[in-house]
Amino acid sequence: MVFGGATGIGRAIVQRLARRPGRLIVLDKNETELAKLTGLIEGPAKLECLTVDVLDTDGLTALPQRILKDGAALDVLAFNAGIYPTVTVEESQPKDWDLVSGLNARACYFAIRGFLPNLRKSKRGSIVLTSSITGNRTGATGLAIYGASKAAMNGMMRSMALEFAKDGITINAVEPGVVGTEPVLKGLGPQNEAKMKLLIPLGRLADPDDIAASVEFLSSENARYITGQSIILDGGMTLPEWPENIDFNV
C-alpha cells in the first residue's frame, strides 16, 4: 500500500513495488494522475487505485474497512503523502501549521494506527516513511513548519519501532535531499538547479527512483533486521564541513 503514490517519488515507489506479486493499493488525492498509473506500471502486481484525502479524519479512519474488508494482512505500508509549502515564521498563520503538520505528521500517524491490525497479520509487516533531511539534518528559510513535521515523522518512527517489534513489524524512513521531481525543477529553474548541483558531491539531483530503490529495500526481506532507522539520500549534500570540500568548478 502506497499513500501519495500518483506522482514523483510516490509513483517511482509504486513502479518498484509493482514488481512483486499481489495487490498493490495506491492512494492519492490526485485522481487525474492516479488514472495514468496503469500505463506506467510493469510487473505482476494487481494495481488498485483509490482517491483519498488523508486530511479527512473520518475518511482516513474508515480506510481499513473500506480497503481490507475481510481484515486481510498488509505486508507493506509506504507513507509518501506530503506537502512542502514555503512560508516564513513571521508570515505564517495557524492554518499553515495545521495543513502541513496535519498531512505530513498527523495523517501519517493515524494511517499507521488504522492499518496496524492488518500489518500484524503479515508474516513480516513493513512500514516505510518518506521523511526529509529538512528538519532532521538541515534547515531552510521558510520551511520551519515543514521541518517540524518531518522531524515529528522521524520521532514517531523510533517509538513505533519499539512498540511494533514484538509483532515482527519493522518501521523505517528515508530522508531525501533535493529530488528532481517536476514541481522541484519548476520551482528551482535552470540557474538555481545548476547552483544546487554544485552543493551536492555526487553532482546531480536525486532521481525519484533513487529514493524508491531504498524504499523497496527497506520493505523487503533483505531489511528484516532493520527497524527504527532512517537512510539519508542526498548525494552527500549534508557531508561537507568546509567550503574546500565542495568543488564549485564542476
Active site residues: 146
Closest by CA to 10, choosing from 24, 20, 21, 23, is: 24
Going 196 to 199 to 205 to 210, the CA torsion angle's sign is negative
Q: How many whole angstroms separate alpha carbon 152 and alpha carbon 132?
A: 11
Q: Which three cell numbers stand for residue 16?
A: 518498484
Phi, psi of 31, rounded to the nearest 5 degrees: -65, -35
Q: Which three cell numbers stand for residue 197?
A: 548541483
Q: How many whole angstroms separate alpha carbon 198 and alpha carbon 187?
A: 17
The DSSP output letter for 207 is P
Closest by CA to 161, choosing from 240, 226, 232, 109, is: 226
Q: Is 206 helix (H, G, I), strand (E, B) or coil?
A: strand
Angle at 192 between CA 191 and CA 196, to 5 degrees: 125
